[in-house]
Amino acid sequence: MPDPSSPRRISRRGLLGYAGTTGLGAAAGAGLVVAAGGGSPAPANPAGPAAPVPGATVSPWGAHQPGVAQHPPAVTEIVALDLLEGVEREALGRLMRVWTGDVEALTAGRGAPGDPAPWLSAAAADLTITVGVGPGALGADRFGEGPSGFAEVPPMTHDRLEERWSGGDLCVTVAGRDGTTVAHAVRRMVADAEPFARLRWRQVGSWNGTDPDGRPQTGRNLFGQVDGSGNPRPGTELFDDTVWVGGGRWAGATTMVLRRIRMDLDTWDDLTRDEQERSVGRTLADGAPLTGGAELDDLDLTAQAQGRLVVPLDAHARRSHPSLHGGRRIFRKGANYTREVETPRGARVESGLLFASYQADLADQFVPLQRSLDELDQLNEWTTAIGSAVFVVLPGFEAGSWLGESLLT
Amino acid sequence: MPDPSSPRRISRRGLLGYAGTTGLGAAAGAGLVVAAGGGSPAPANPAGPAAPVPGATVSPWGAHQPGVAQHPPAVTEIVALDLLEGVEREALGRLMRVWTGDVEALTAGRGAPGDPAPWLSAAAADLTITVGVGPGALGADRFGEGPSGFAEVPPMTHDRLEERWSGGDLCVTVAGRDGTTVAHAVRRMVADAEPFARLRWRQVGSWNGTDPDGRPQTGRNLFGQVDGSGNPRPGTELFDDTVWVGGGRWAGATTMVLRRIRMDLDTWDDLTRDEQERSVGRTLADGAPLTGGAELDDLDLTAQAQGRLVVPLDAHARRSHPSLHGGRRIFRKGANYTREVETPRGARVESGLLFASYQADLADQFVPLQRSLDELDQLNEWTTAIGSAVFVVLPGFEAGSWLGESLLT
C-alpha cells in the first residue's frame, strides 16, 4: 500500500488549484509539490486545473477518479476489453482488486505488483489511470443497473462506425507525460486482466496542453482550432453538476462517450481562413468567439454584421451552445491521433480526434447535443465518427478500498 | 528568415553543454536559455547533451543537423518518401530549398511558409527536423555519389523485413516534446514535398529521456533495459569521429540506419531476472555492467564468477562491444513503439524499438557489428528486425544557405 503522505503526491485540491507564479518550471527545479490551496479560477489558466508538475504524482484516491478532471496531459492511451464468458460479480471483484493495486502502484511511479519490468513505471510520468465499465458489464450478474440515462449512443446519420474502434465491456484510460510509461501501464493493466477479459481495441492520442512557458492552455485539435474553450471549469459547481452522478449507488461516477472522429485535413486546408472560422464560430488565432472578447467569453448568438449572423446558424459553436439545449452541457476532452494506413497506392496518414465526453446523464446531456450536431453542423463536412463507445467511469475509491467495491459487494 | 540572435534559441554549444544545477525546471520557470559554456561531461548526465528546455527552440543552423546529437526527446516521428519519376538535381534543389524554409520556421515555433494552421507549430515543442537521402536519391542525376561505405545493409539471417517499413529515397525525422506539434511538422514537410515525392512509410516512437527531477537520463526500451549506455558522448572527439563524415563533399554528414525491431514482450517477461540480465550483460536496475561499477563504466569481458564468464559469450553487450570490432563504434538512438494490430482473434499490440544507428561509414562501422549480432546474440530470441532503411543525413547548413546546397550546385 503506498504511503498517502508521500511528499511527491499532489493532493486533489492541489491538482485542481492554480499553480500560479510557481509555474511548471520553478516547481520542478526546486523539487516542490504544487499544493496551493483554493480553487479560484485564474485568467492565465483557461482550461481549469493546473498542468502536472514533472516528477510529482497524482493521488488515485478520492470521491472521483482523478483522470477525468485532470488537465489533458501529453499522451492518452485508451483500451477497451471484452469480458470472457462466465466472468460475473465475484470475478469482477477480483479483477477490480487487482486493478486497484495496479493503479495505486503505477500512478505512484512504482511497478505494478509482479511487474517484471517495474523500471518502466516512472514517477515523472504524472500518470492517471481511469477505469470504466460498458453496457456488457452491467446487469444483475455483474455491476447491476447503470446510472440514469446510461445507454448506447443511438445511430447518427453521419456515423461511419467501424467495429474495431467501437464498443467494449471495460475501459482503461491511461494518461501522462511520457508515451513509454503510459504504454507500459496499459500493458500491465491488460495483462493483469487476462484471466477475465480480452483486449478489444486500443487508441492513442496526444495533446499540447501547456504553452511555451509551461502554463496550462486549452490546446488545439489537428484542424488548428482551440478545442474545449466552452468546457465547464473543474473545481466549479457547474463542473460538478455537469460531470458527476450526484446520488444513488453510482454517486461519484460519471459517464464517458468516446468517439473516434476522423478529420479530413486536406479538404479542411483548402478552405479560406474566414470559412474555417465561420464553420466553428471562433477565431483560429486564439479561440475567441467571432463576436468578440477572449477565449473564455460567451458567444453572442444574436450578433450581426453586414446583415448576416456573425456566428452562422450551422456553426459548430452555435449548434452545441448550452442555450440551445436547455443549459445542458458536457465536459469534453480531446486527444489528437494520427495513424499510418496502407493503401494500394502507398502509405497514407489518417488523422483525427479521440473525443471523450463526460456527463452525469448520457441520455439527457450527450445524446440531444449529438443529435443536434448530426442534424446541422458545418464541421460534419470534414469530420466523420468512425468509432463510438460508452462507459460508466466508476466512482473514486479511498486508500484501503477498491474500484467499484460498493457496487459489487 | 528567423533571427539567429533570438533569445529563445539554444546555441549548439548550449545544446551540448551541461545544464547542471540550472536544471530543466528552474530554467523554464525563469524563462532562461540554457547556454552554459563548456562541454565537460557531468556524471548526472549519462546520455550526453542536456535535455531540452521547454519553451526554448533548437537552432537549425550549424555544421551538422542538430537532431542527430540531440538528447532523445519524448516523441520521434520518422517518414520515408519515394521520389517521383523525373525528379532530378534541379527539382531536388527546389525541394531542399522549400524544406529548408520549413525547417527554419517549424523549429522556431512558427508556421511553415503557407501553412494554413500555423498555430500547431509551438515553440514549446523543442523541435528538431533532420533530413536524409536514401540510395535512390543518389547517382549522377541526383545527389551524386554517396559517402564512403554507404550502401544497403546486407540481408541478415534473423531479418524478417516487411516492405512497408523498409527503404525510401528521402527521410525526415521530426523529434520533440509534443506529439501534436511533431505530427503537424511531419504533415507540412510531406505536403510540401508533394510535387516531388510520395509518402512511403511513417513510424512513430516515444522515449523517456528525463528522470523525475527533469535531468537527462539514458532511457529504457520496452524490455525495461537501460538502452544506449555504451554510446559515445556528444561533444567528445570520440563522438565526432564515430558519427560525422570528416571530409570530402559529404563533410558534416552522417549515415543513418533505421531498423524497426519487433520485441516479444510476452516471452521476455517469462524469463527470470537473472536470465534477462545475462542476455545483455547489464543489470536491469540501472544498466550497470554485470561486472560491477556504474552505468557508464566499461564491461570487464574477462571477469568470471563460479567458473563462468559474468558476461556470457552470447550476451548482447559483449557481442556489440567495440573491443570485438577493432574499436569501431556506432551512435544509437531508440524510440519505443507500440501499434495496435487486428487479428482474427481480436486486437493485439505489437511492441518494439525504432533503432537508429548513426555512423560516418556504414559499411565499416555498422555492418560488421550487425553481422556479429546476427551470428550470435541472445537477444535474437526475443527481437526481430521487420524493417530496415539507410539514409545519408545531409550536412548541416548555415542561415542563408540551404540543405544539400553544396551537393546539388
Which residues lie across from A257 on neighbouring strands? A357, A390
Distance of CA B292 to the CA centre of its chain: 28
Task: Give the Cα-Cα-Cα angle B130, B131, B134 (nearest 5 degrees).
Answer: 135
The neighbour count for residue B321, using CB atoms within 10 Å, is 19
Give me the pLDDT at residue A393, please. 98
Which residues lie across from B10 on neighbouring strands? B58
Average pLDDT over residues A329-339: 97
Give me the pLDDT at residue A53, please. 55
Give me the pLDDT at residue B211, please. 84
Task: Give the Cα-Cα-Cα angle B105, B109, B112 (nearest 5 degrees).
Answer: 35
Q: How many residues does chain B have?
A: 409
Average pLDDT over residues B236-251: 97
Angle between helices B89-107 and B179-192 (to 10 degrees): 160
DSSP B37: -
Give me the pLDDT at residue A342, please. 86
Q: Classify B20 in phi/psi space as left (phi over 0), alpha (psi -120 to 50) or beta.
A: left
Give residues 301 to 320 of B whose Cβ lies within 8 Å of A.
none
End-to-end CA separation in angstroms for chain B: 22
What is the C-alpha to C-alpha distance for residues A94 and A405, in angstroms, rounded to an integer? Answer: 10
On chain A, the residues whose CB falls within 8 A of the CB of B25 are 24-30, 54
Cell of B313: 559469450
Distance of CA A245 to the CA centre of its chain: 17
Backbone angles phi, psi at B336, to 5 degrees: -75, 135
**Each residue of A80-93: pLDDT tens digit?**
999 999 999 999 99
Residue A13, in any domain of the structure: no
Give residues 46 to 85 of A whose Cβ lies within 8 Å of B.
54-55, 74-75, 82
Average pLDDT over residues B359-376: 95
Asked if B124 reaches chain A (Cβ–Cβ under 8 Å), the answer is: yes
What is the C-alpha to C-alpha distance for residues B52 and B34, in angstroms, rounded to an integer? Answer: 9
Cell of B91: 527539382
| Element spanning B261, H or E | strand B254-263
What is the C-alpha to C-alpha distance for residues A257 and A153, in angstroms, rounded to an integer? Answer: 8
Is the per-residue pLDDT at A41 higher than 80? no
Is the per-residue pLDDT at B326 higher than 50? yes
Asked if A202 reaches chain B (Cβ–Cβ under 8 Å), the answer is: yes
Give me the pLDDT at residue A84, please. 97
Question: Which has more confidence, B6 or A35?
Answer: B6
Cell of B175: 523529434
Cβ atoms B172, B41 nearer than 8 A: no
Does B227 qualify as catalytic in the annotation?
yes
What is the C-alpha to C-alpha distance for residues B396 and B206, in angstroms, rounded to an integer? Answer: 25
DSSP A301: T
Average pLDDT over residues B159-174: 97
What residues have CB less than 8 Å from A234, skipping those under 6 apart?
A: A16, A48, A49, A69
Range of the domain at A224: 75-407
Backbone angles phi, psi at A338, to 5 degrees: -135, 150
Give me the pLDDT at residue B342, please. 86
Give me the pLDDT at residue A162, please. 96
Asked if B7 reaches chain A (Cβ–Cβ under 8 Å), the answer is: no
What is the C-alpha to C-alpha distance for residues A196 and A92, in angstroms, rounded to an integer? Answer: 8
Asked if A118 reaches chain B (Cβ–Cβ under 8 Å), the answer is: yes
Is the per-residue pLDDT at B28 higher than 70? no
CB-based contact B338 A265, cutoff 8 Å? no
What is the C-alpha to C-alpha distance for residues A60 and A260, in angstroms, rounded to an integer? Answer: 27
Cell of A325: 439545449
Q: How many domains does chain B have?
A: 1
**Each residue of B212-221: pLDDT tens digit?**
788 899 999 9
CB-based contact B269 A117, cutoff 8 Å? yes
Average pLDDT over residues B75-93: 97
Indicate the residue of A119, A269, A348 with minimum beta-carbon distance to B284. A119
Average pLDDT over residues B158-182: 96
End-to-end CA separation in angstroms for chain A: 21
What is the C-alpha to C-alpha distance for residues B267 and B270, in angstroms, rounded to an integer? Answer: 5
Distance of CA B274 to the CA centre of its chain: 30
Residue type, A11: S
Helix (H) and strand (E) counts for chain A? 10, 12
CB-based contact B349 A285, cutoff 8 Å? no
Residue A343 pLDDT grade (very low, low, confident, very high; cuts 50, 70, 90): confident
Is the per-residue pLDDT at A36 higher than 90? no
The DSSP line for B335-370 is EEEEEEEEETTEEEEEEEEEEEEEES-IIIIIHHHH
- Per-position b or e across A303-312, b if 16+ CB within 10 A of its CB: eeeeeebbbb
Q: What Cα–Cα distance (Å) separates residue A319 from each residue in A316, A373, B339, B405?
A: 5, 6, 36, 52
The neighbour count for residue A288, using CB atoms within 10 Å, is 18
What is the C-alpha to C-alpha distance for residues A230 and B279, in angstroms, rounded to an integer? Answer: 54
What share of chain B in percent tops pLDDT 70?
A: 87
Q: Which residue matches cell numbers 453510482?
A: A250
A244: closest CA among A232, A230, A228?
A: A232
Q: What Cα–Cα distance (Å) separates residue A46 from each residue in A17, A228, A338?
A: 12, 10, 26
The neighbour count for residue A237, using CB atoms within 10 Å, is 8
DSSP A366: I
Give me the pLDDT at residue B125, please. 75
Cβ atoms A234, A49 nearer than 8 A: yes
Chain A interface test: which of B32, B53, B81, B119 (most A C-beta within 10 Å): B119
**Each residue of B248-299: pLDDT tens digit?**
999 999 999 999 999 999 999 999 999 999 999 999 999 999 999 999 999 9
What is the C-alpha to C-alpha distance for residues B27 and B25, in angstroms, rounded to an integer? Answer: 5
| Element spanning A58, H or E | strand A57-58
Cell of B387: 524493417
Indicate the residue of A28, A219, A220 with minimum beta-carbon distance to B214. A28
Quote the ipTM score.
0.87
Average pLDDT over residues B365-379: 93
What is the C-alpha to C-alpha distance for residues A357 and A335, in angstroms, rounded to an integer? Answer: 12
Average pLDDT over residues A47-69: 77
The helix/strand/coil state of B307 is coil
What residues have CB less than 8 Å from A319, skipping those under 6 apart?
A: A372, A373, A376, A377
Least confident of A178-182, A249-253, B48-52, B164-168: B48-52
The helix/strand/coil state of B52 is coil
Give me the pLDDT at residue A14, please. 35
On chain B, the residues whose CB falls within 8 A of the CB of A120 are 220, 222, 224
**Each residue of A195-215: pLDDT tens digit?**
999 999 999 999 999 887 888
Catalytic one of A82, A126, A178, A227: A227
Residue B1, in any domain of the structure: no
Q: Which residue matches cell numbers 477565431?
A: A283
Average pLDDT of chain B to the nearest whole number: 87
Residue type, A135: P
Residue A42, in any domain of the structure: no
Residue A216, in any domain of the structure: yes
What is the C-alpha to C-alpha distance for residues B183 and B120, in angstroms, rounded to an integer? Answer: 9
Indicate the residue of A207, A212, A222 with minimum beta-carbon distance to B124. A212
Is the per-residue pLDDT at A29 higher than 70? no
Residue A173, in any domain of the structure: yes
Chain B interface test: which of A206, A283, A341 (most B C-beta within 10 Å): A206
Task: Give the Cα-Cα-Cα angle B192, B195, B200 (nearest 5 degrees).
Answer: 80
On chain A, the residues whose CB falls within 8 A of the CB of B179 are 74-75, 179, 205-206, 336
Q: Which residue of A has its CA nearest to B179?
A: A206
Catalytic one of B82, B159, B227, B314: B227
Give me the pLDDT at residue B54, please. 53
Average pLDDT over residues A322-345: 93
Chain B interface test: which of A81, A194, A340, A353 (most B C-beta within 10 Å): A340
Give residues 129 to 188 of B whose Cβ lies within 8 Å of A.
164, 177-181, 183-184, 187
What share of chain B in percent tops pLDDT 90?
A: 81
Cβ atoms A111, A191 nearer than 8 A: no
Average pLDDT over residues B188-215: 94
| Element spanning A173, H or E | strand A170-176
Residue A58, in any domain of the structure: no
The DSSP line for B171-233 is EEEEEES-HHHHHHHHHHHHHHTTTTEEEEEEEEEE---B-TTS-B---B-TTS-B--TTPPP
Is the per-residue pLDDT at B246 higher than 90? yes
Is the per-residue pLDDT at A32 higher than 70? no
CB-based contact B116 A31, cutoff 8 Å? no
**Each residue of A121-144: pLDDT tens digit?**
977 778 999 999 999 999 999 999
**Each residue of A167-181: pLDDT tens digit?**
999 999 999 999 999
Give residues 344 to 383 of B whose Cβ lies within 8 Å of A.
346-349, 351
CB-based contact B180 A30, cutoff 8 Å? no
Of A121-135, A146-160, B45-59, give the range with the top mean pLDDT.
Answer: A146-160
Give me the pLDDT at residue B219, please. 95
The DSSP line for A328-339 is ---EEEEEEEEE
Residue A98, in any domain of the structure: yes
Give me the pLDDT at residue A123, please. 73
What residues have CB less than 8 Å from A278, skipping those under 6 apart?
A: A290, A311, A312, A315, A378
CB-based contact A178 B75, cutoff 8 Å? no
What is the C-alpha to C-alpha distance for residues B126 and B111, in angstroms, rounded to an integer? Answer: 14
Max intra-chain CA distance, chain B:
68
Give me the pLDDT at residue A193, please. 98
The helix/strand/coil state of B213 is coil
Residue A57, in any domain of the structure: no
Cβ atoms B183, B225 nearer than 8 A: no
Pairing of strands A9-10, A57-58: parallel
